[in-house]
Amino acid sequence: MFCIHTGTYKQQEKTELSNAQSYSLEDLKQRIDNTVTECKEALIEGGIAGCLQVFEEKENEWKSQKVNIAITGRSGTGKSSFINALVKKWTGKMGLAAVGFTETTTECACYGHPNNPNIVLWDLPGVDTEAFPKEDYMTKVNADVYDVFIIMTDTRYTELDAWLGTELQERNKPVIFVRTKIRD
Ligand SMILES: Nc1nc2c(ncn2[C@@H]2O[C@H](COP(=O)(O)OP(=O)(O)OP(=O)(O)O)[C@@H](O)[C@H]2O)c(=O)[nH]1
Ligand SMILES: [Mg+2]
């Protein structure tokens, strides 16, 4: 089963996600400084072998990190279709995300990678819709808990796309823009 959970967050899930994922640039700098200190200490105590062991541990650390990838953008740009396409590619089976012509996705739904449960895609509702107005969007989708955002755009790049990208960058979130419907 590909879909590991769907629905809006419960408070406990919000806390778990926040605790597990979010790093600011400052956190990252601090982690690098800590690693350098650890390596220096290992070198003094255990020589080259001790230092190599620390390197190895650090090299493998990322494997246990969860990465929450949020798919966002205007309604109808193809967010859910994109997730379904990835699911099809990964599993050979049909994706479960509902696709439609009008505001279709109404809750944040998550889909785990079949071979790596640490990679989680989140299908977010469209930005600036009746249920998810621009002003409340970041709060309602709980933007702080995701590690990276993919903003789907179709046909043309709009002010709303720019607004979304800026809002996310102000929150220190990595943003990737994806253009859909390129043959239309
Ligand atoms: N031509 C074309 N149509 C697409 C593409 N991707 C999605 N669509 C169509 O666009 C419509 C909206 O797709 P969805 O995947 O539901 O879009 P969404 O961004 O999830 O929409 P909301 O859930 O309302 O926010 C559907 O009719 C899809 O079949 C694409 O790459 N090319
Ligand atoms: Mg959708």
Query: If we measure between CA atoms, which residue out of 116, 121, 111, 105 comes closest to residue 62?
Result: 116
Structure confidence at residue 173 (pLDDT):
94
Q: Is the CB of 99 under 6 A from ligand 1?
A: yes
User: Above 50 in pLDDT, residue 20?
Assistant: no
Which positions ≥6 away from 68 have C-beta within 8 Å? 17, 21, 110, 120, 122, 145, 146, 147, 148
pLDDT higher than threshold 80 for residue 11: no
Comparing CA positions, the residue from 98, 181, 81, 164 lying closest to residue 129 is 164
Indicate the SS3 state at residue 168: helix
**Whether residue 88 has its Cβ less than 6 Å from ligand 1:** no
Q: State the average pLDDT over residues 145-166.
A: 94
Expressed in angstroms and rounded, the spacing between residue 98 Cα and the centre of ligand 2 is 6
Q: What predicted TM-score, i.e. pTM, was given to this entire model?
A: 0.78
- Contact predicate 28/21, CB 8 Å: no
Specify whether the CB–CB gap between 121 and 71 falls below 8 A: yes
Higher per-residue confidence, 78 vs 94? 78
* Strand residues in the chain grouped as ranges (E): 67-73, 109-112, 119-123, 148-154, 175-180
Neighbours of ion ligand 2 (CB under 5 A): 79-80, 104-105
First-to-last C-alpha distance (Å) of the chain = 33
Find out whether the beta carbon of 129 lies less than 6 Å from any atom of ligand 1.
no
Q: How confident is the model at residue 182 (pLDDT cuts 50, 70, 90)?
A: confident
